[in-house]
Amino acid sequence: MAKITASVYTSHVPAIGAALDLGKSGEPYWQPVFKGYDFSKQWLAENKPDVIFLVYNDHATAFSLEMIPTFAIGTAAEFTPADEGWGPRPVPKVIGHPELAAHIAQSVIQQDFDLTIVNKMDVDHGLTVPLSLMCGQPQAWPCPVIPFAVNVVQYPVPSGRRCFELGKAIRKAVESFDKPLKVQIWGTGGMSHQLQGPRAGLINKEFDNAFLDQLIADPEGLASKPHIDYVREAGSEGIELVMWLIARGAMSDVACGPAPKVAHRFYHVPASNTAVGHLILENK
Ligand code: DHB
Ligand code: FE
């Protein structure tokens, strides 16, 4: 059967993608950001999954105010990189895993979660920047990726609790797939940032580090954090962090397994307008 081997968490700042694509990653501003991912690139090469289930948010690229799915699973064979601002990134196309994606859709919907099934979708920095941070600049991404888009842009957005429960359902879905695939689940976006209004530029190191501590040690308690706390403490875009609870809910310890191993933890401010946070948790 398939299993979830690890979860990865990382911010998705679009300027990080631009820094890589424009050859600026060695500049003093960017060096400390990329240094935090040296371990991660090595780790991913040594712990190569068969599939990455990548939880991210679309930024009005694939979806718009015309149509806003709360949870959308990409079931296509491939996904084309696209982006706002800097334009489509010059990165490899994303190869999907239609068979596993369809199985997860079937299982998770039968577990009473409403997913939108998306057979054609472009993917923006929310998905491609985490891949770049973890893989560098390869000719092709190391394995198929199932994009899983969460609405954290237009209110009402899903609660941390619902995201955490969804993670549990995704773990059950993966573990009922009849092929011995190693699957990693990535939770992306965050950490604290606010891009508009009088509080634009807000970053909250204390909140972010407490979030990382609790995500590791007490995800069940963290799942109860209300929206208003994210928005007040981590800024309007800090709400992207609820997506990390989907990945965390899919780890074994949540289903009575052993606590995960913290393989890597990194935090840096600022990158563009955002605090960069990153964790790798391995199932034991
Ligand atoms: C920035 C961060 C984001 O999460 C985003 O989607 C766009 C911009 C920023 O830090 O500039
Ligand atoms: Fe974002």
Backbone angles phi, psi at 267, to 5 degrees: -145, 135
User: Looking at ligand 1, which atom is closest to the CA of residue 271?
Assistant: 10
Q: For residue 96, give the amino acid letter.
A: G
Distance 228 CA to ligand 2 centre (A): 18
Residue 80 pLDDT more than 90?
A: yes
Q: What is the mean pLDDT of residues 84-104?
A: 95
* pLDDT for the residue 1: 96
* pLDDT for the residue 183: 99
Residue 94 pLDDT more than 90?
A: yes
Supply the angle between the helices 14-21 and 125-135 in degrees, to the nearest 10: 50
Q: How many domains does the chain have?
A: 1
* pLDDT for the residue 86: 86
pLDDT > 70 fraction of the chain, expressed in percent and rounded: 100
- For atom 10 of ligand 1, which residue has the closest CA? 273
pLDDT tens, residue by residue, 154-171: 999 999 999 999 999 999
Distance 15 CA to ligand 1 centre (A): 8
Find all residues with CB under 8 Å of 273, minimum gap 6, and list them: 193, 194, 195, 200, 201, 203
User: Looking at ligand 1, which atom is closest to the CA of residue 11?
Assistant: 4
Residue 87 — pLDDT band, cuts 50, 70, 90? confident
Mean pLDDT of the chain: 97
Q: What is the mean pLDDT of residues 31-39?
A: 98
- Residue 273 beta carbon below 6 angstroms from any ligand 1 atom: yes
**pTM for the whole structure:** 0.98
Given its phi and psi angles, is residue 92 left (phi above 0), alpha (psi -120 to 50 degrees) or beta? Answer: beta
Residue 65 pLDDT more than 90?
A: yes
Q: For residue 247, give the amino acid letter.
A: A
CATH, residue 173: 3.40.830.10
Q: Quick check: 118 and 111 in contact, CB under 8 A?
A: no
Range of the domain at 56: 3-282
- For atom 1 of ligand 1, which residue has the closest CA? 13
